[in-house]
Amino acid sequence: MIKKKYIDSVQDLFKDLGGYENINYFTHCMTRMRFHLKDWSIVNEQKIRESSYATGINKNEGGDEYQIIIGMDVADFYETFCQINGYDIDGRNVLSNNDKEKINFKTKQIEEINQIKGKFRVKGITNKCLSFVSKVFSPIVYPLIGYGLLLTIWSLMTVEWNGKGTSLAQTVHFFGEFAGILDILTSTFSLFITIAVSYTVFKAMRCSSIYGILIGVVLTAPGLVSMGNVEVGPGETILGKYPGWTIFGEGIVYPWKINFNGLMVPMIGIAIFGAYMERWTSKISNTTAKNILSPVLIIGVTFIFAIFIVAPIGMLFTNYLSISVNWLSTNYIAKYIALPLLGALYGPLVITGLHHSLTPVILQGQAAYGATIIQGLCTLSNVSQGVATVAFVVLNRRVRQLKDLGISNGVSAIVGGITEPSLFTVNLKHLYPLIACSIGVFFGSLVLVASNTYALQGASSIFGYLMFQHKAPELTGVSTWIGGGFLWGAISILVSCIVTFFMTLILGKIKFFANRTRDLLLEEYNEDINELKLIPPSEFKLILKKEREDKKSLKQQLKIEKK
């Protein structure tokens, strides 16, 4: 956060140190700014010593550090220095373009890109929200890909191919042990991504990222319980079963011990609250009081806000969703409206993390009837999310860097049922793939519900097809259409995927979405999709061929240099 009282001081210090050409990188400690400079002799040391902001200079020649003593306000001074002089705020700041010519070229390039963006940028709150989402999830794109691929491998080893006890992990000792290793890796990845989201929110809001990490760790502590781990029996509610504290007296369970692992959107909301808490505490005028009170207030108040307000809202939503879904699933008329809508909204539920609230519903339905339709809806949604991502890549295939990212994430959703990489890197960011998926799943769900196709709890990927039951459980009082559940399950998946694919292509042509996508791709990859589409196919093939040859030539050159 820029402090007005330091603006003139940081500009003067920047000039006195020699500017971009002389500053390699810098950081700070509790009281000092620590600069690594190219040439100490050109520093205007006398002017710095006489300035109002510096209380002294210390030269650490052994560590190659030029230290300027600022005092206890060094963090505010440092942040103002970064923002005013165009550096990234990331603890140890590095400016790679110290060469003046490169800086001028970079500035010109950014100006050109911004001019193009200005023509096509979607204005208003929608643009701000989507840009913020992009800033939050862009830094964790590649960990998300790794998470998705590992979970895909794990699901292939644990899916029951031909009934209970037929998975590779259960029948082959090696795969059983390897699946156990992957289970630890994937559960750790899930925890990391939840904490990382809190970190990136703080970073996007130009606040101290260490508080983001702390808040993420506190809200995913082992003493808190994940929604998916609470077993709800017939006639019971999740409110009655969830463990909590009884600080208001025996028998009064409030607040509940809700673990935020996997609850992405609630975590984003809490992190935003925490970032505003930090901004508020930064206004405390007494430096000593600020240093003592800030950590306590930021972490403590944010935790109380999460546990006493956000968590109960999520819990009440989960409870009444469970009751509603159970009624809607069994009502002869309502199920034709409600269940397809639930299928269409499953993707947004995954984004919020509230899809975990369906786990007790599925378990309860399976315990009561022997199978459930909702499991099939999850399969349709997850597979279609992957198809929407692949369709987006097809539509924008000339952005070369997008291919690897989109296809790997799409495959993770289709094969592994892991939709977070697809959702957060493509579908949510560009919106129309998410909308197309919801439309496709709605129609696929209509087929599933109308044909009374039930499924057991299990894989929610393309292998979820193996969970479909040939006929509906007798206790449901309905019959599956002629051909059986395997046939109609396959048809519902095909309907969902085909509608999703073509709706993605159609919606992608709409001006609002096309301009938004052009803007985002330009910002992320520095490639204008409209200009790329104007290149004739034959010429574009030659460009790709030349790029491959250049890469090959570079590899050979590097090999020669190593020798």
CB distance 78 to 28 below 8 Å: yes
User: What is the radius of gyration, based on Cα positions, of the chain?
Assistant: 28
What is the identity of the amino acid at 104?
N
Write down the residue that tokens 């991502």 correspond to: 389
d(CA 492, CA 495): 5
Interacting residues of 295 by C-beta distance below 8 A, sequence separation 6+: 211
Write down the residue that tokens 């390897």 correspond to: 178
Comparing CA positions, the residue from 539, 542, 520 lying closest to residue 529 is: 520
d(CA 367, CA 194): 31
| CA distances to 156, 265, 467 from 151, in Å | 9, 21, 18
Write down the residue that tokens 């993707």 correspond to: 347
d(CA 134, CA 137): 5
Instruction: Give the pairing of strands 56-60 and 65-69.
Output: antiparallel
What is the 8-class DSSP label of residue 224? Answer: S
Upper half-sphere CA count for residue 191 (Cβ side, 13 Å): 16
| CA distances to 76, 79, 128, 541 from 2, in Å | 7, 7, 21, 48
Interacting residues of 104 by C-beta distance below 8 A, sequence separation 6+: none
Give the total residue count for the chain. Answer: 563
Tokens of residue 179, six digits: 């699946």
Whether residue 82 lies in the annotated active site: no
Q: List, in sequence order, every residue forming a beta bridge with 34; answer none if it has no partner.
A: 27, 67
d(CA 290, CA 287): 5
Q: At 19, phi and psi to the nearest 5?
A: 70, -160
Give me the catalytic one of 29, 129, 378, 497. Answer: 29
> What is the three-state SS of 70-95?
CCCCHHHHHHHHHHHHCCCCCCCEEC
CB distance 243 to 257 below 8 Å: yes
CB distance 13 to 81 below 8 Å: yes
Write down the residue that tokens 């692992």 correspond to: 261
Known catalytic residues are: 29
